[in-house]
Homo-oligomer: A and B are copies of this chain.
């Protein structure tokens, strides 16, 4: 990553550079048992995320599943790697309509896309609010996560 603020380097995407309908395909992430257990031990230690045996015998899904927060973290990492690292981001604003559609299991290969839905230029604050629809799908092309995420991105002209 090269500097993102001073002088807005030409390769940095600012609020004015985005348009509704812009679509970005994400890279992919393969999740392992170890990934799932490690994340959940720290952030979401429910038995069906951390204890493979109990998850299999007692869990609703018949086996270990990833924490929903980890599924969101994977989406975030894929967006940073795929495009957000090139945006002049101020910070996140929020998330709406996030749905965990299918469980994420060890060995799943996740990928997906992000589509810019709406841009609200706020030149008096030097920023644009950008709302994006995002989707993560598994190796069977089943959506596992859908959401709308909003962030503030600097404007070039201010």
Contacts and interface: CB of A to CB of B under 8 A. Distances in A.
Interface of A: 1, 3-6, 42-48, 54, 58, 60-61, 65, 67-69, 72-74, 76-77, 80, 84-85, 89-100, 103, 147, 154
A76 B69 contact: yes
Copies in the complex: 2
> DSSP class of A's interface residues: helix, strand, loop or mixed?
mixed
A92 B76 contact: no
A29 to B, nearest CB: 11
7 contacts: A1-B47, A4-B58, A42-B73, A44-B80, A69-B69, A93-B100, A94-B98
A98 B99 contact: no
A77 B44 contact: yes
Nearest to A95: B98
